[in-house]
Amino acid sequence: MKKFSVLTLFPEIIEQGLNYSITGRAIADCLIELNLINIRDFAVNKYGQVDDKLYGGGTGMLMMPEPILAAWLSIYKKDTQQFLTQLSESSKFLKLSQHSEATEFLDFTQSSEEMSLAAWQREVKKVSQDRIIYLSPKGRTFNQKMAQELSQEKHLVFLCGHYEGVDQRILDVLQVEEVSLGDFVLTGGEPALVVMIDAISRLIPGVLPNMEAHQADSHSAGLLEEPQYTRPANWHGLKVPEILLSGHQANIENYRKSKSLLETYTKRPDLLQNKSGSRENNLSEKLSEEDWLLLIDSLKNN
Q: Output DSSP code: residue 1.
A: -
Strands 51-53 and 177-180: unpaired
Q: Is 202 one of the annotated active-site residues of the chain?
A: yes
For residues 63, 69, 72 and 75, what is the CA-based torsion angle, rounded to 10 degrees? -140
Q: What is the residue type of 245?
A: L
Q: Is 164 one of the annotated active-site residues of the chain?
A: yes
For residues 165, 170, 176 and 178, what is the CA-based torsion angle, rounded to 10 degrees? 20
Which one from 65, 137, 225, 226 is the annotated catalytic residue? 137
CB of 119 within 8 A of CB of 85? no
Which one from 164, 178, 198, 297 is the annotated catalytic residue? 164
Which one from 66, 217, 225, 291 is the annotated catalytic residue? 217
CB of 42 within 8 A of CB of 11? no
Enumerate residues 6+ apart whose C-beta is below 8 A from 137.
180, 183, 184, 185, 186
Q: Calculate ∠ Cα 276-194-266, nearest 5°.
A: 40
Which ranges of the chain would DSSP assign to H, the alpha helix? 11-18, 21-28, 65-75, 80-97, 112-127, 144-150, 168-174, 190-201, 249-267, 283-286, 289-301
Catalytic residues: 137, 164, 202, 217
